[in-house]
Amino acid sequence: MFLDKNKKTIIVFSGDLDKAMASFIIANGAAAMGNEVTMFFTFWGLNILRKPEKTSTRKNFLESMFGWMMPRGAARLGLSKMNYGGMGAFMMKAIMKQKNVNTMQEMIETAQSLGVKMIACTMSMDVMGLKEEEMIEGLEYAGVATYLGEADEANVNLFI
């Protein structure tokens, strides 16, 4: 029955710090309120889940170019607006520290401890040349059909 449904899905397409924060604030809030939450990371959103350290992987030329240009993990994301080569993200993080707001890395850990299901989109990983060894632990790997199955069971579905 509809009113009993308490599942939410979020497609995290963006890899910007501000949008990543919005995604995790909603996901963690919903999970804390007893919802089942699935986050589906695709395109630039996959960068949020990269390990910060360099990982040795076999990549062709174009894959290496993309891998080199994209941020490695939650600590290196920029803002979608007013980033000014990283100054904006730096200011945002300074303010968040001042206000005792959790960092992105802490938000990801909270999501994992609350049981938020995080799925990395395999098709985007293939296009962007990202390999499972460069991603953080605890992810599931699947495609759009899995996302659609999850969304069908949810009553709130967002694309961020």
**In the bound complex, what is the minimum distance in angstroms from residue 128's beta carbon to its own copies?**
8
**In the bound complex, what is the minimum distance in angstroms from residue 137's beta carbon to its own copies?**
26
Vertex 31, ends 140 and 119: CA angle to 5°?
Answer: 15
86 binds its own copies (CB under 8 A): no
Query: Is 46 or 137 the residue whose CB approaches its own copies more closely?
Result: 46
Query: Is 43 or 139 the residue whose CB approaches its own copies more closely?
Result: 43
Beta-bridged to residue 158, according to DSSP, are: 10
**In the bound complex, what is the minimum distance in angstroms from residue 18's beta carbon to its own copies?**
5
d(CA 130, CA 132): 7
Q: By C-alpha distance, which of 45, 51, 7 is closest to 150?
A: 7
Q: Which stretch binds its own copies (CB under 8 A): 23-31, 49-57, 109-117, 133-141?
A: 23-31
Phi and psi (nearest 5°) for 37? -130, 130
d(CA 95, CA 50): 24
Site for its own copies in 115-134 (CB under 8 A): 123, 126-129
State the alpha helices, DSSP H only, in 7-143: 17-32, 61-69, 87-98, 104-113, 122-128
Binding site for its own copies (CB under 8 A): 1-2, 5-6, 11, 13, 15, 18-19, 22, 25-26, 29-30, 33, 35, 42-44, 60, 62-63, 65-66, 69-70, 80-82, 91-92, 94-96, 98-99, 101, 123, 126-129, 143-145, 147-148, 151-152, 155-160
